[in-house]
Structure 1
Amino acid sequence: MEVIGQRASDRLEAPRPPKRDMALEAAIAACAIRLNFQPQIDLASNRLVGVEALARWQAEPSSEFMFARAAAAGLGERLSRHVQASAIATAACWTGPLGCVRLSLNCVAADLARPNYGHWLIAECGRLTFDPSRITLEITESTLVIDRALAAAKLAWLREWGVMIAIDDFGTGYANLPYLTALPLDSLKLDRELIAGLDNERNRIVVRAMIGMASDLGLETCAEGVETEEQRAMLADWGCTTMQGYLMSPALDDTALKMLVGTFAPAT
């Protein structure tokens, strides 16, 4: 029943379809989204133990903005699937010191919202002969827009295949703490802003407490954005597990990564 006198602008409107992003569609189709890999180093042994796959596109240098742009255009799932499949295909060809490092993949909301995402990921590993137990899925607070119990069930299923689950950008979101008990986790990634603030005593107390809490929960910790030896020394002293950042190396393409790998003790 229509209310007499109601303005047209006040009436409920049907959701508008996503605005098409032809440039991004073309970039995905043409495989113009390139991959870089940032080394992750074990703080206790200086071993290269993993890499994080990061998507890069000339038209949108920031991976975060690129995925936001994809989501707005209804391309989030397609872009994420392309990036993850490309990263697994690249890592499947690594031999020598790179042949056993972990591969961290960023998981977006469209992934967990997809009913068959876990089965697709495991099937992709099988197709490319890549051991799924070498994968770490990094999820952020914005990823968990679906029902928390449903997300936990999907992630638990992947863990049965050996996939590790990490909370990314930990310490920045308002709802991080409930995830520690609600989700099947293996690791916390400490946000780079926390690491950048280690010159402040109060920030040091917070980061040290986070590392201690993670350890008590049986979780590993990875510090993002490590840029100085002082930061590295503090994190090692507090028991942080791994680190990544410009102190060790920026994100590199496949060729540069292979050249750099010899400067670190190999993973075992």
Structure 2
Amino acid sequence: MLVFQDDGGGMDPEGVRQCMSLGFSTKKSKTTIGQYGNGFKTSTMRLGADAIVFTRAIRGSNVTLSVGLLSYTFLRRTMKDDIVVPVLDFQIQDDHIVPLVYGSQGDWDSSLKIILDWSPFSSMEELLQQFKDIESHGTKVVIYDLWMNDDGLLELDFDDDDEDILLRDQAKATAGTTKIQKEIIEQHISHRLRFSLRAYTSILYLKKYANFQIILRGKVVEHINIAHDLKFKKMFTYKPQVALDSQVSQ
């Protein structure tokens, strides 16, 4: 399993359905990341066959908990013609977690059965247990049935570095270089970000924010401004070339 968790605002029942629906996006700008509404689906499915989402949100006086399952294994083995994404909702009433039924009770029960049959959790109690460490609000994404490479090994390497997650086929990046060149290349962030999740997340944000941090395998990711870490710098002076004929390209 691979677990991603945050303590953000979480998603209400409508939000989690939008997140797990193919092609849905509230981002209208053509230059905005996420405009096609498939980022969550394609990214989780690239890492593993199945993903289950736990999210808790506070909207006004309403506290809701939702569980959603996106399972390639379920769709393939049951030969579904349509993409079925079961979602369960709960709400807090008098400090108790109670089911929140939007459609029919039959639909709610059917979603529960699918999730219990095709997720790592075998009871509703086990599902609700996953909210214990989310606290008042936030989201947890559990990706399981991770993909293997051609050698039958996990594509992701969890063993070589206890504080990192690596792409297993990392050695190919320096093939054909001398030993000295290889040492120089491997020490630089521009090489490590190709296969190291810690290196990649360290340069993900240009600015360092006081109220935000990424924790990977129990250790905080140190922020790196990649613009300050350029190893081989060159400066080129641009000289515009005027066309020989009377027509100048714009």
Same-fold call, TM cutoff 0.5: no
More helix by share: 1
Higher relative contact order (CA 8 A, sep 6+): 1
**Superposition TM-score tier, normalisation by shorter sequence:** under 0.3
- Please give the TM-score of this superposition, normalised by the length of structure 1: 0.26
